[in-house]
């Protein structure tokens, strides 16, 4: 009997910007929670999910801050009901800490503790003084938290196998300075790499669990990307299948979503991401392309009119011909400012045939789905 083949392991570490969601209730974005659940039981690959202690504490801070911002609204409800709900800043802090702990346990996350005794403080201080990555080259010297994240990653790297066939290490971040610092630190580790998005991670997981070589996918992904979208090329799938029109018609309500207190939204640039590998069925290769709509929202605030004298309004009320002008002044005092920015995300599931001569033919749209809207 042949010995049972040991499962490969993929260890995934998240930066704050990868999991951030602008609410006070959730530690992780819904997309990540769904991802963890979907890939919890893979036959040939074990996934381990990591959060540096710095990231956990930063999310606690963000959630507590968001919770405290809701206190004025609670005070208004108390006045309306004539009842004290007894929600204080201390209660918000304790409940956030409790919630974070429960969500870490529920999603099987491993928290990487900072081992301060193992940090090369002289090196860290040097990077800070000379503004080397992850420190920014400005007066604020931003980057200390990111430097601690690098140290947390160091701990996972030190405790992990060095062979890619046994274990791979992935760090998800879209911070270019942190990305640069991490890649410099772990340049010699061939089983370590950084990714900038969940889409790249999903594609990698699907490649590792499919009976297909990673080199093959990497060799055709640029061609696949151009087949799906080439600007002003009517033969590319995006234009040919009228993807823009489909999203507009099918998800009109999702494209109207607003954060609380916003008065209107304005959709800006549509970003089409690189396609990610999903699966291979015979000669048919399935892909997932994420489209993100850049959104700006606005909020109206009332600025009380400033009459030239206290008698202006009384005079206007006596003279009917001036009432319209007073009303116009009131409308003009409604000020509209940019409120929140965000992204509305959609996924396009599609497939293409790969011939024996590695030609790509017969592209086909399978599904167009709404993912989520994230407010910064």
Q: How far is CA 10 from CA 54, 198, 237, in A?
A: 21, 14, 33
The predicted structure's pLDDT at residue 357: 84
Angle 147-152-158 from CA coordinates, rounded to 5°: 125
With bands split at pLDDT 50, 70 and 90, how would you rate the model's confidence at 4?
low
**Under 8 Å CB-to-CB from 43, ≥6 apart: which residues?**
209
Q: pTM for the complete prediction?
A: 0.76
pLDDT value of position 313: 52
Q: Does a structural domain hold residue 114?
A: yes
pLDDT-based confidence at 70, cuts 50/70/90? confident
Question: Is 330 inside any structural domain?
Answer: yes
Q: Are residues 38 and 159 in the same domain?
A: yes
pLDDT higher than 70, residue 24 = no
Q: How many CA atoms within 13 Å lie on the side-chain side of 225?
A: 13
Tally of CB atoms within 10 A around 367: 9
24 with 62, same domain: the answer is yes
Rounded to whole angstroms, how far apart are CA atoms 210 and 45?
10
CA atoms within 13 A on the CB side of 207: 18
For residue 289, what are the CA distances in angstroms to 110, 227, 352?
A: 30, 12, 13
Do 239 and 201 have their domain in common? Answer: no
Here the tokens at position 367 are 């599904």
Both tokens assigned to 322: 């001036």
Same domain flag for 328 and 372:
yes
- Any domain includes 309: yes
Is 250 contained in some domain? yes
Strand pairing category for 284-302 and 264-272: antiparallel
- Select the more confidently predicted residue: 8 or 312: 8
- Is residue 305 scored above 80 in pLDDT? no
Whether residue 192 is found in the same domain as residue 330: no
pLDDT band, residue 42 (cuts 50/70/90)? confident
Domain co-membership, 231 together with 124: no
Pick from 254, 277, 268: nearest CA to 204: 277
Choose between 209 and 289: higher pLDDT: 289
Angle made by CA atoms 351, 356, 359, in degrees to the nearest 5? 55
Q: Are residues 232 and 302 in the same domain?
A: yes
* Same domain as 230, residue 195: no
Count structural domains, the chain.
2
Match 């080259």 to its residue by tokens.
137
Q: Does residue 332 have a pLDDT over 90? A: no
Asked whether residue 214 is domain-assigned, the answer is: no
Q: Let me know if residue 274 belongs to a domain.
A: yes
Residues 323 and 367 in one domain: yes
Higher pLDDT, 165 or 306: 165
Same domain, 225 and 360: yes
> pLDDT tier at 66 (50, 70, 90 boundaries)?
confident
Residues 279 and 321 both lie in one domain? yes
Q: In this structure, are 225 and 183 located in the same domain?
A: no
Span between the terminal Cα atoms of the chain, in Å: 55
pLDDT at 134 exceeding the cut of 60? yes
pLDDT of residue 261: 87
Q: Which of 153, 177, 209 is the last residue of a domain?
A: 209
Q: Evaluate whether residue 359 is within a structural domain.
A: yes
**pLDDT at 327 > cutoff 70:** no
Of 209, 237, 264, the domain-final residue:
209
Q: Domain end: 209, 235, 263, which one?
A: 209
Q: Is residue 127 part of a domain?
A: yes
- Is pLDDT of 2 > 60? no
Query: Mean pLDDT, to the nearest integer, of 99-119?
Result: 94
Question: Mean per-residue pLDDT for 52-80?
Answer: 89
**Confidence band of 138 (pLDDT split at 50, 70, 90):** confident
* pLDDT score of 40: 85
HSE of 318 in the Cβ direction (CA atoms, 13 Å)? 5
pLDDT, tens digit, 9 for 90 and up, residues 215-270: 999 999 999 999 999 999 999 999 999 999 999 999 999 999 999 889 999 999 99
List the domain range (segments joined by +) for residue 263: 219-376
Average pLDDT for 300-308: 69
pLDDT at 83: 83
Q: What is the pLDDT of residues 149-165, one digit of tens each?
A: 999 999 999 999 999 99
């Amino acid at each position: 009997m042949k010995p049972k083949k040991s499962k490969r392991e993929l260890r995934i570490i998240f930066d704050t910007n990868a999991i951030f969601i602008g609410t006070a209730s959730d530690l992780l974005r819904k997309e990540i929670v769904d991802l963890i659940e979907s890939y919890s039981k893979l036959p040939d690959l074990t996934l381990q999910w990591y959060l540096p202690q710095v990231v956990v504490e930063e999310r606690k801070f963000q959630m507590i801050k968001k919770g405290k911002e809701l206190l004025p609204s609670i005070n208004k409800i108390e006045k309306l009901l004539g009842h004290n709900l007894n929600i204080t800043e201390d209660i918000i802090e304790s409940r956030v800490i409790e919630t974070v702990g429960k969500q870490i346990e529920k999603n099987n996350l491993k928290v990487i503790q900072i081992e301060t005794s193992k940090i090369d403080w002289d090196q860290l201080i040097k990077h800070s003084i000379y503004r080397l990555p992850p420190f920014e080259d400005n007066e604020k010297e931003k980057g200390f938290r990111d430097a601690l994240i690098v140290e947390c990653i160091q701990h996972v790297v030190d405790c992990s196998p060095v062979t890619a066939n046994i274990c791979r290490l992935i760090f998800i971040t879209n911070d270019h300075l942190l990305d640069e610092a991490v890649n410099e630190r772990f340049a010699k580790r061939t089983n370590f790499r950084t990714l900038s998005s969940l889409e790249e991670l999903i594609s990698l997981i699907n490649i590792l669990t499919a009976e297909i070589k990673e080199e093959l996918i990497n060799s055709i992904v640029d061609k696949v990307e151009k087949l799906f979208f080439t600007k002003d090329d009517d033969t590319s799938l995006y234009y040919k299948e009228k993807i823009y029109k489909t999203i507009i018609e099918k998800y009109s309500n999702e494209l109207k979503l607003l954060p609380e207190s916003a008065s209107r939204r304005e959709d800006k640039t549509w970003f089409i991401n690189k396609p990610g590998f999903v699966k291979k069925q015979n000669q048919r290769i399935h892909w997932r392309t994420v489209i993100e709509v850049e959104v700006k929202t606005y909020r109206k605030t009332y600025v009380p009119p400033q009459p030239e004298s206290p008698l202006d309004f009384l005079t206007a009320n006596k003279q009917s011909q001036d009432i319209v002008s007073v009303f116009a002044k009131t409308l003009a005092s409604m000020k509209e400012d940019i409120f929140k920015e965000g992204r509305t995300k959609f996924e396009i599931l599609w497939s293409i045939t790969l011939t024996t001569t590695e030609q790509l033919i017969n592209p086909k749209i399978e599904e167009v789905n709404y993912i989520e809207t994230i407010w910064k």
